[in-house]
Amino acid sequence: MPPLLPPDIPVLAEAPFRVELALSGPPPEHLFPWLEPRVHESLLLSGGAHPLSEHSYVGLNPFLVLSSRGGTVTLADPGGTTIHEFSGDPFRTLSLLTRHYRRTAGPGCPPFWSGAIGYLGYELGRRLERLPSSTLDDLGLPELYFVFYRHVLGYSHRDSTYTLCGVELAGDGQGPRVEVEERIRRGLRADGQEALSPPVFRPNNLPVQLQSNFSRSGYLAAIRRAQEYIREGDIYQVNLSQRFQTSFNGDPYGLFLKLFRINPAPFFAYLNPGPFQVISSSPERFLSLRNGLIETRPIKGTLPRGRTPEEDLANRQDLLKSEKNRAELAMITDLLRNDLGRVSEYGTVQVVDPVLLESYTNVFHLVSVVRSRLARRKEPLDLIRATFPGGSITGCPKIRSQEIIDELEPTVRSVYTGSIGYLCLDGSLDLNIAIRTLILKDNVLTFQAGGGIVYDSDPEAEYQETLHKAASIREALAATVQVQD
């Protein structure tokens, strides 16, 4: 990796801008397709009655694409032309870019007003620690993918209003800003005029036949092997997952919308790098950093919503009383406290809420809330390096759990259990844990579901939990199938 960024990357004009569109209109999930989004344009969508579901964001007019795979880092323009390619550390490159483009927002901008949207794949952990690499990489996707945008359209769920913020490149003039404003206004008008005839998404006319990378007996055997490691004292717990895949030739954004309607959550994301698409319906925050304050909210413990009010209340109480789930959550919370302690001001790491029950459309989750203050002279990428991948989807201790995951899971996780979100030009960030996340490539749709394995786990119950976690995805897939006459 060269000591500095290449001189031919795009240069920003000095001052960010903000445009109060003074428009209320349809929510962003409905507006997005009317914007006729291009390759690399993306949506970070929040939904549901959740305290974190305050803003949604659309990334528009990209100017730089950063990706990495197998130690090769690539900087490209949005059309796919390589600007620079080299062997190096993708985390360092991302850090250099965010520092190079650092700007301060003007008053009135939403939390994310300009910067990069993308993902950190699970296997990037191998760039941070010496870990084995024996799993089959049959997806062949970038391990890191972030896109820097001129413009971000922010939506306030509280006020139901849009604000356009962003930056311009040196030499841009007013053209890109005028063009994006016209796209937005045209999209808002089109949605209003066609309210009774929403965009028609291409249906899936391939049979939904889910296949796992495990047989049932194979997954149960992997759980038992993990429990042997626990008995031998290697680990306290480990997260194991199975991957499902099916043929799919429908519109991926149509599937995204169906998932959102079934189970809205705070950290939905739709990314379109071109050769593949990523759909995430995650409820879990990995990291938030704003004004030096860090927050992480690990999830450990899941039970389905009840079919009746009485069953719903019983499941809620059972989850809160579950010693197994509370113990898992406590272990992961402690792991994350230690991770944050590596980059936080001494004495600032606090467990604000050790056990919090959150309710979603189809499940209950147990969550903890941990906060701290980033140490002086530490950068946002130092925080990511210290904590990635999230402990809630590896296990404890983290490195040994990652080694066991590599041994027991047959294929790469890729985006699944990595992180998706934004890095703002002012140094703030918000990243999810990419659970309930789908990848569409070459008409094959893949997604994974897993759970934490501990000493007294019941293998059959753990297997059934993975099936339940995949239920909303199966339901959305079934709804995309074209009915044959």
Question: Residues 440, 279: contact at Cβ < 8 Å?
Answer: yes
Query: In this structure, how many other beta carbons lie within 10 angstroms of the beta carbon of residue 72?
Result: 14
Residue 192 CA to residue 312 CA, distance in Å, equals 38
The residues annotated as belonging to the active site are 284, 300
The owner of tokens 């919308």 is 257
Name the amino acid, one letter, at 130: R
